[in-house]
Chain A
Amino acid sequence: MKTLLSTRKLKSAVVFISLLAAFLLALLLVGHIVATVTYRGLAVVASNFPRIFFDIPAVPGVREVGGVGPHLLGTALLVTIAFSIGVPISLLAAIFTAESLKPWERKLGKMTRLMTHMLIEFPTIVVGLSVYGIMSALTPYMKTLIPGFKPFSLLSGAVALFLVSVPYMYAQIEDGLKSIPQHVREAVYSLGAGRLLTSYILLKYLKSTVYAALSIGLARMVSETAALFFTAFGSDVYPLFDIQMLFRPIGSLTLAVYYFGLTGYENWVDLSWAASFILFVLSLVLFIASRLLLRGR
């Protein structure tokens, strides 16, 4: 009996120690990432402050770093376009799905749900490649309308970001609308409100859920890399501010981290750390925002 107990104890100790080791290792690794990005990135940002936010990258192999101005602007432009199209579309689509009554409406709502859920699971590189395919199929026709039309452009990048992040925003808002108890919905209807006005009132009731969904969608847009390879393509110079800008390649912070990180030049690697630190701070802000918004509920 005594030996039996001690093998049990031994086994128990082994299990506990391996669980604890896994726990500590996971925390250590994640902590190391956060610490390294902050340490390496902050050093570069601090020593090149404010230039890092406005300058174009320096030539490779020199001591100067330059800045990620064009990439910051690119991310801002891409996200602004994709977000301003994505928000109304995901809101309206969610309202339609949640408030559908007639059979054809229900069918379409279910279809939207299924398809967007599928889209969430698509690898984002596939989405990006597809947008590139669509854009290059359109190019011969669009060239007659717009001479400078190219598949690698700000427009394609924005479309790709839209496709990557709208399914998330739509799914969360729709879940929120679905979670409203039926009696609340009926109470609003009983005031004589139509379906659209009802949804508007219900969305007000869900305000923090909606804002959290939007901030998560925004975070996905900001942190997306793979979908931009074939679409935004990347660029290290400022675009000219005219309508042609939409049809030219554009840089983004994530692409900057990728390209500069993969080069062997020390100053470009530093630039990559700086870009990843800026990106980290952006996603941290959005993460905290979504947390604070959801805490009320």
Chain B
Amino acid sequence: MRRVSKLKGFLDVFKVISIINLILVSSVVLVVLILLITSLPIVFRDGVVPLTRSIWNPVSEEYGFLFALGGTIVTASLALVISLALSIGLAVIYAEYIPEKLRPVVKNFMDLAASIPSVIYGLWGLKVLSPLLRSYVMEPLVLLGLSPYFGYPSPTGTSLFSAAVLLAIMVTPLSSSIIRERLVSIPMHIREALYSLGLMKTEVVLLELKYIRRSILTAIAVSYSRAVGETAAVAMVVGNVVNPHFFKVFRPGYTISSLIADQYPNAEAYYYMVPALFYAALVLFFISLAVNFLLLKSGERT
């Protein structure tokens, strides 16, 4: 105590600590600024053209990443739909059906799943999930004659579809935990009121889901933001092929993050490639900013 007050005579300790906060704030600003500055050459040269065309030709210094932008949106949206189904199922069964004693087991297991490094998901997706999806989902659908809509899968099964399924599995633990916590905390009197209407259990559950729709929206936004930014796992299963037909999900493709991850080793060999990658990163940054803004608007933070 004495020491501190003596020190205070010389200088205000909090003024010194404030430098650390200033460093943190300015480093975040710097991170954004450097994205803007480094992407300037290609912005000046091409404007918004790279956003509207699908071409990646470093030799002639032509860049357009519509295919990656489309891949990001397609995989993240598809992942969102799948993960929403999985996480609602998880949350509802957890909160309403399984015995209380089993709850901590399921909860800890899913929390553990959320803590597994994403690159492990990627390896599993590449070596286990993609071949499985190819032989049991993609090929049967192609045999049914749906290839004009979905495209033909690659021999290894790496595709935008596999990436979407993998992303769905990755974000499910987190998004189900958001729904689960809210579902468990629904007040007893509301539950009882619903049962007193003579509803069956599943009907009660459906009404409860309607009651917590804001939390479900939060879960959606959180998983979308995760899915858009995820890199290592997606880069391993998405196939990394320039695919202008990114809506044909059985084909391999690129997402913005996997484009950056896959192209960086040779980026410095070309004059405009580094700016192009930074431009792509900037677009990714704005997408995730927009999603998080929506998240903020939806009112509930995790």
Instruction: List residues of chain A with CB under 8 Å of any chain B CB.
Output: 8-9, 11-13, 15-16, 18-23, 25-27, 29-34, 36-37, 89, 92-93, 95-97, 99-100, 105, 108-109, 111-112, 115-116, 118-119, 121-127, 129-131, 133-134, 137, 163, 166, 170, 191-197, 219, 222-226, 229-230, 254, 257-258, 261-262, 269, 272-273, 276, 279-280, 283-284, 286-287, 291
Contacts and interface: CB of A to CB of B under 8 A. Distances in A.
Contact of A23 (B21, B93, B277): B93
A108 B21 contact: yes
Contacts, number: 259
Contact of B116 (A26, A89, A280, A291): A280
B257 A123 contact: yes
Given A125-B257, A226-B232, A254-B119, 7 more contacts: A11-B202, A23-B89, A92-B20, A125-B229, A134-B30, A224-B117, A276-B119
A197 B1 CA distance: 7
Prevailing SS type, chain B contact patch = helix
B230 to A, nearest CB: 8
Contacts of B116: 33-34, 223, 280, 283
A89 to B, nearest CB: 6
Contacts of B85: 22
B62 to A, nearest CB: 21
24 contacts: A22-B88, A23-B94, A26-B169, A26-B176, A27-B109, A33-B121, A96-B20, A108-B18, A112-B21, A122-B288, A123-B231, A125-B229, A126-B284, A126-B285, A130-B30, A133-B34, A191-B1, A194-B1, A229-B260, A257-B120, A261-B126, A283-B115, A284-B115, A291-B111
A21 to B, nearest CB: 7
A194 B110 CA distance: 43
Given A15-B206, A122-B285, A219-B115, A26 B27 contact: no
Given A12-B202, A122-B31, A123-B229, A280 B113 contact: no
A123 B255 CA distance: 13
Given A129-B277, A284-B112, A261 B34 contact: no
Interface string B66-99: 0000000000000000000111111011100100
Nearest to A120: B292
